[in-house]
């Protein structure tokens, strides 16, 4: 019960912090150079991990679907089924978990160290706004980089599915790819991209919030990193439920409109 209370307390505080960030973004935008530096740093650090995670997520989904559809003689549709399940649900969720441990923990530790060593207080003493100078560039950079990385991870999941489909089930790569548009319609693809963007915003908000309000010295930095990982994963699960619910409504509306 106590853990649930702390989770909702962090959730509410993160929303208030997000409001301050958005207000600063509108009225006092930060330097583009700082944003590009954060985008480059996050992307270079996390691209290999994300690509590998996406590859194996697609490969695992292909193997699991192959064992099921082979019993019904629907093996030619393996590419569409595995890709649809990966892009709509499993892929964004698992890859976001990887990024929460890679990007989220690193950013929280970096900002937490700046807080406990009084670097943030020094910025304020110089007359600058810490949210404008150090939080906003990281917030925007993490969102853009995470969305890009999640998209790359989903593309790599298709590559992993193609390779495992060929070696595990003997499906020609051309046949695997040919049946993807049959099942994966553009509303499903849009749903997956919306999940990627939502998870990126959740990750950026929580890791900057946890790092910015770190207390307790070096031990406090460690607590912030652990809390960032746990809170981010729980929030991503909740966001996944919400986007899945909204996504189904959008898909049904699109079907009714076009049919």
Residues 127-175: tens digit of each pLDDT: 888 999 899 999 999 999 988 888 888 889 889 988 988 888 788 888 8
User: pTM of the full predicted structure?
Assistant: 0.86
The pLDDT assigned to 242 comes to 83
**Of residues 38 and 76, more confidently modeled:** 38
Map out the domains of the chain as residue ranges.
40-258
Q: Is 44 helix (H, G, I), strand (E, B) or coil?
A: helix
Q: How many CB atoms lie within 10 A of CB 27?
A: 8
Q: Is 28 helix (H, G, I), strand (E, B) or coil?
A: coil
Cβ pair 112, 220 in contact under 8 A:
yes
CA–CA separation, 37 and 19 (whole Å)? 24
220-230 pLDDT, tens digit each: 899 999 888 88
53-83 pLDDT, tens digit each: 889 988 888 888 887 777 777 777 888 888 8
The pLDDT confidence band at residue 251, using thresholds 50, 70 and 90, is low
Phi/psi of residue 54, nearest 5 degrees: -60, -40
**Token code pair at residue 42:** 């996050």
CA–CA separation, 125 and 15 (whole Å)? 26
């Amino acid at each position: 019960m106590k853990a649930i209370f702390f989770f909702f307390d962090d959730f509410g505080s993160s929303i208030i912090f997000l409001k301050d960030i958005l207000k600063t973004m509108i009225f006092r935008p930060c330097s583009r150079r700082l944003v590009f530096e954060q985008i480059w740093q996050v992307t270079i650090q996390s691209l290999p991990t994300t690509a590998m995670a996406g590859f194996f997520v697609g490969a695992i989904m292909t193997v699991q679907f192959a064992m099921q559809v082979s019993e019904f003689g629907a093996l030619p549709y393996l590419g569409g089924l595995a890709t649809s399940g990966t892009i709509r649900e499993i892929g964004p969720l698992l890859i976001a978990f990887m990024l929460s441990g890679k990007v989220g923990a690193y950013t929280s530790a970096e900002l937490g160290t700046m807080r406990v060593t009084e670097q943030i207080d020094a910025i304020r003493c110089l007359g600058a706004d810490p949210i404008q100078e150090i939080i906003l560039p990281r917030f925007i950079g993490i969102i853009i980089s995470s969305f890009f990385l999640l998209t790359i991870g989903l593309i790599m999941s298709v590559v992993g599915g193609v390779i495992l489909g060929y070696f595990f089930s003997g499906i020609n790569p051309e046949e695997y790819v040919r049946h993807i548009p049959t099942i994966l319609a553009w509303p499903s693809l849009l749903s997956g991209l919306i999940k990627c963007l939502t998870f990126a915003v959740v990750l950026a908000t929580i890791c900057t919030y946890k790092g910015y309000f770190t207390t307790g010295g070096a031990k406090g930095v460690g607590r912030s990193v652990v809390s960032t990982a746990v809170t981010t994963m729980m929030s991503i699960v909740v966001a996944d439920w919400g986007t899945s619910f909204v996504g189904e409504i959008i898909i049904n509306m699109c079907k009714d409109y076009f049919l």
